[in-house]
Structure 1
Amino acid sequence: MNQQWYQDTYYDEERTYDIAADYYYYENDADDDFGALHPWSTPVENQYSRYMFWREFNLITEQCALPAVLTAYWWSSHVGVTLVASICFRILILFFQRFRCLSNWVLHIVCAACGLAPALISSSTKENGIPHHRWVPAALIVGYMVLLYSISLLTILLERNNTNKKQEKFNAAVVFSAVVLALLVYREYVLDSSRAWQSTRGTHMLMSMKAVALILDYRSGRLNSLPSIAEYTGYMLCAGCAQLGPYISYKQYLQAFRSRPSTYLKNLKQWVAVIKNLGLSMAWFMGSVCYVDWLLDTSYYRYYGIAIAVDTYRRAASYRSGHYFIAAVGTTNAQACGYLSECDERIVTAKPSSVEWPKQMSYVASAWDIPTHQWLKTYVFDKMYSHGKAPIAAAATFAVSCAIHGFEVRVSAVLAMIGGCAYVELLLRKRLAAKFPIIFGKKSNIKKTSLSKTTSRWMRIVINMLFVVLNIIHLSYLGAVMDTSNDTESVFSVWHRCAYIGHLLLFFTYIIAVLL
């Protein structure tokens, strides 16, 4: 009789310890009628299980989480340099506001220098064993900024020599935006894929968004003139947000240089918010790197279907945790620099609660990256909606959203799927409200029926919970394909392994909405 323990080994061979996964005993002998799977259920073993859980947690914290955080947030790392540069910039601004000893153009140049410092200090000097200069990423960033400014000036000069019709001004702005987005697609698919180029992808995307926003604000009258060279440089390379984000408008950028009445308590609250977001970023980072893979270990599950479902959710949760880490770091740096929102409030980059508990898929699209969502709504959807219908505006928003990501295959597929899920969910909710107005219509309809308020309320709760569960499945399905930890897999191998269940659910949901 062959007996076998399902075991899992963590990290490397030097610090190996074996854990019987979920304390299940597997019997391979087919002649043994005792069964193939037996859980341990005695009180003593349950106590041992709790002990092993905390032992694993302590080991992972000591050997994975804490070393990873120290490495990521060290002063010479990209995150550490960006945070230090943001704090130094804020201290300089506070000093200037108190003594007025520097010109404004000097402050803009200093802001650009603080934004460019992480690319110079934290960039690697080797790639595949081949040394290269640290200034290569910074040179690519500055060169792209000069190109954007030149195209902006050329667009304005061409418009001044042209007729003053509003329609032609709008067309010129659209042409400028198309050229900028085409540059992103060009650098994604034509230029080489060296590490220097890959490290500047996010910066180029943010700079393109800022350039489009400036030219559209200038043509619409929100800006009286294009910013000067110093202001343009400071805005494009603004401290804290040049590489990790978030996107900030030109008005938000200027907020950091304006004197605002403040008290000791207000300044204290601001720095407490910075420390809180810094702690949240560390928690999300540790979760993405260590804890998610440990808590959702697929070796605990015997059945293939359950293991695939858990692995899909693990990949998606790891990717989302990494995104929340970047969002929290961006929020920390933006608040440390003193950037404020349009309503003079602290900048918020993402809302993880709205994503992890998705009441509607449309909420997920807005809560995933709030500044980018606002940019798309202001400069794409609203402008296209004023010249056409909502479907055209939605299609244009999807196209521009893919373009700013360089039409990367994974991102484009996920954005298309999110748009489809949001549309089908909205259609289904409208059909349910029209078919069952007693339950899903206005509250006044409840009084006209024999259903009690409690029954109607509970029915709405159940239906909304079904939508939440459906959206969680969709987000797991979509997030798993964004996980690039295994480079040997093809782009959509995760969806193939899941038998394209997300697409099938979307199709069946649409059929239900049509049949109602």
Structure 2
Amino acid sequence: MMEDMAFADYDYEFAQDEEGEDYLDYYDEDVYELPVGESWEEEEEETNMSTGASMSELYEYCVVPTVSDSSQHLYSLLAWSLIFLLTTRIVRPPAWLVHLMSATCGGIVTWGMFGHRCSYMVCLLAVGGLVLSLSHFVLKSRRGPFTCVSCVAFLIACELWLADPVDWHSIRGPQMIILMKVVSVGFDLDSSSLSRLPNILEMVGYILNPGTVIFGPWISFSSYKRVLQPFSWNLRLVLGVIIHLITCMIFLLLSTCFALWMVPDSINKWAQAFRDAFSFRSSHYFVSYLSVTSAQLSGLDIREVARPAYIEIPRSLVEVVVYWNMPMHYWLKTYIFKTARNWFGIFWAILFTYSMSSLFHGLNFQLAAVLLSLGFYTYVEHSLRVKLASIFDACVLARPCPEKCHHQYKKWSWIGIFINISFSVLAMVHLAYLGIMFDSNSQEQETGYSLSHTLKIV
């Protein structure tokens, strides 16, 4: 990513990648796990309604408590994001004051969410910043890899020895965002996308920006620096924030209240699997739209994080991993996969990327199993569909062909429709199978799922 490409960070209309880059993404529960303390989790369990409840009971005992409780927890995040926007864009303060306000507002939000657990985040920031600075001034090369290895080593040390399991699990998401931001600065310095190492105030303002510090999404340092530019006030911004906020609450209610209410436990296991997987995906969409809302309220130019339509009715698993979390897909593709591909080749670079993603999440067998399964599935699917497209001369690749492609049979031909629908159904089945591993009723949810728990569900 070069300096003149700063505005391309959120251009996610990726073309068909013949080198396998579209295999990459997180199936990321931890980054999008709601880090709000035990009281909310307990209240959500109490408000999950059985399928025998009437609509009025569902509204009274689930919808109202869920909206009320979530509003209380999210008020601080949205309020401080807006405060940062108003205090730095109505007037034009000096750059150092903008970074200071970003760090202050983000610090207040983080402390309100996590309390003393913020100390882990401070330690990760200190480790990453120190290694980044030393590698920049002493080694003057490979700043990205050295920073990445150091941050992952710190996460593993906390996982095994330094942190309380419950406390650590509750802040894995923000820790992931910090790691991604620090590491991306190192790689951008290596590629000369950044001309200089950001100073301490710039780095802290970037990492603790209130719009991205809790739920993300990841943004590059170049994207963050746009907060220093004049801001365009318009009605479209206000409507966008309102629409995203309403959408995120709809997905929260679907996940918490309506999924279980609409699909009873008395039906067959596959229907329950689809229901539970949809509930899990809805919670992810909730946080995705919430992250867009908070980022836009803080003045960042974030358009979208996930595309639910492409996930619920997928063309392929390759598209699912691309549109599940687009900023993270871009991060993994840019900073991990492309680097590993130069060393190992495409196939091993894919496995390395998913393995690194697993390490970013900590020593969690469940997430590692899902990530590596997705890596294997998407590689096989991509390769198979390339061969089918060649044999039948049809538009049946994992990613859609451009409008003017060389294939004889287009996507609306009978062979194109048949093959694409077949793979779509197969992708839905895979999503249901992988989604049920995230069992929200398990006691292990607070500390991460073990090998025995995951194999028992499988």
Name the TM-score class by shorter chain: 0.7 to 0.9
Determine whether 1:80 maps to 2:80.
Answer: no
The CA distance in 2 between the partners of 1:238 and 1:179, in whole Å, is 23
Q: Which AA in structure 2 matches 1:84? A: A
The CA distance in 1 between the partners of 2:69 and 2:414, in whole Å, is 50
Aligned to 1:151: 131
Determine whether 1:328 maps to 2:289.
Answer: yes
Aligned CA distance change for structure 1 residues 318 and 156 (closer, same or farther; 3 Å): same
Contact 2:255 2:279 in 1 (8 A): yes
Displacement after TM superposition at 1:411 (Å): 1.1
Which of 58, 63, 86 is the matching residue for 1:91?
86
Aligned CA distance change for structure 1 residues 17 and 477 (closer, same or farther; 3 Å): closer
The CA distance in 2 between the partners of 1:438 and 1:469, in whole Å, is 19
Which structure has greater strand proportion? 1
Contact 2:354 2:371 in 1 (8 A): yes
The CA distance in 2 between the partners of 1:61 and 1:443, in whole Å, is 54
Alignment of 1:357-506 (within 5 A): 357-437=313-393, 445=408, 457-487=413-443, 491=450
Aligned CA distance change for structure 1 residues 445 and 145 (closer, same or farther; 3 Å): closer
The CA distance in 2 between the partners of 1:173 and 1:368, in whole Å, is 25
Determine whether 1:217 maps to 2:188.
Answer: yes
Determine whether 1:318 maps to 2:309.
Answer: no
The CA distance in 2 between the partners of 1:201 and 1:105, in whole Å, is 29
Contact 2:50 2:261 in 1 (8 A): no
Displacement after TM superposition at 1:238 (Å): 0.9
The CA distance in 2 between the partners of 1:469 and 1:492, in whole Å, is 29
The CA distance in 1 between the partners of 2:313 and 2:361, in whole Å, is 26
Q: Which AA in structure 1 matches 2:172? A: R
Superposition RMSD in Å:
2.9
Q: Which AA in structure 2 matches 1:177? A: C
The CA distance in 2 between the partners of 1:189 and 1:369, in whole Å, is 28
Aligned to 2:216: 245
Matched residue SS, 2:303: coil
Aligned CA distance change for structure 1 residues 431 and 96 (closer, same or farther; 3 Å): same
The CA distance in 2 between the partners of 1:482 and 1:12, in whole Å, is 15
Deviations 1:447-504 (A, max 9, x none): xxxxxx99x8123212211111111000000011023322279757787677x5xxxx
Determine whether 1:288 maps to 2:255.
Answer: yes
Task: Tell me whether 404-413 or 387-396 shows the greater mean CA deviation.
Answer: 387-396
Matched residue SS, 1:221: coil
Displacement after TM superposition at 1:312 (Å): 1.2
- Return the structure number with greater relative CO, CA threshold 8 A, min gap 6: 2
Alignment of 1:99-138 (within 5 A): 102-123=93-114, 134=115, 136-138=116-118
The CA distance in 2 between the partners of 1:114 and 1:198, in whole Å, is 24
Aligned CA distance change for structure 1 residues 390 and 57 (closer, same or farther; 3 Å): same
Displacement after TM superposition at 1:235 (Å): 0.7
Deviations 1:240-281 (A, max 9, x none): 211111111101111122114x3xxx5210111011110011
Aligned CA distance change for structure 1 residues 428 and 214 (closer, same or farther; 3 Å): same
The CA distance in 2 between the partners of 1:155 and 1:478, in whole Å, is 39
The CA distance in 2 between the partners of 1:195 and 1:437, in whole Å, is 53
The CA distance in 2 between the partners of 1:18 and 1:112, in whole Å, is 46
The CA distance in 2 between the partners of 1:203 and 1:325, in whole Å, is 16
Contact 2:51 2:263 in 1 (8 A): no
Aligned-residue sequence identity (percent) comes to: 28
Displacement after TM superposition at 1:440 (Å): 5.9
Displacement after TM superposition at 1:387 (Å): 4.4
Displacement after TM superposition at 1:382 (Å): 1.9
Tell me the TM-score normalized by structure 1.
0.72
Q: Which AA in structure 1 matches 2:273? A: T
Displacement after TM superposition at 1:18 (Å): 9.5
Matched residue SS, 2:230: coil
Aligned residues: 404
Determine whether 1:234 maps to 2:225.
Answer: no
Task: Tell me whether 366-375 or 383-392 shows the greater mean CA deviation.
Answer: 383-392
The CA distance in 1 between the partners of 2:98 and 2:395, in whole Å, is 59
Alignment of 1:175-214 (within 5 A): 175-214=146-185
Displacement after TM superposition at 1:358 (Å): 1.3
The CA distance in 2 between the partners of 1:13 and 1:253, in whole Å, is 40
Aligned to 1:267: 234
Tell me the TM-score normalized by structure 2.
0.81
Determine whether 1:141 maps to 2:136.
Answer: no
The CA distance in 2 between the partners of 1:228 and 1:497, in whole Å, is 49
Contact 1:284 1:325 in 2 (8 A): yes
Alignment of 1:329-368 (within 5 A): 329-340=290-301, 346-368=302-324
The CA distance in 2 between the partners of 1:194 and 1:488, in whole Å, is 10
Gaps of 5+ in 1: 1-10, 20-54, 124-133, 161-168, 302-306, 341-345, 447-452, 501-516
Contact 1:312 1:494 in 2 (8 A): no
Q: Which AA in structure 1 matches 2:227? A: A
The CA distance in 1 between the partners of 2:51 and 2:371, in whole Å, is 41
Contact 2:314 2:428 in 1 (8 A): yes
Aligned to 2:27: none
The CA distance in 2 between the partners of 1:399 and 1:12, in whole Å, is 33
The CA distance in 1 between the partners of 2:193 and 2:368, in whole Å, is 32
Deviations 1:22-81 (A, max 9, x none): xxxxxxxxxxxxxxxxxxxxxxxxxxxxxxxxx82232122201211111112xx2x221
Aligned to 1:37: none
Displacement after TM superposition at 1:137 (Å): 2.1
Aligned to 2:17: none
The CA distance in 1 between the partners of 2:113 and 2:357, in whole Å, is 29
Contact 2:66 2:253 in 1 (8 A): yes
Deviations 1:210-262 (A, max 9, x none): 111111111221112111111111011111211111111101111122114x3
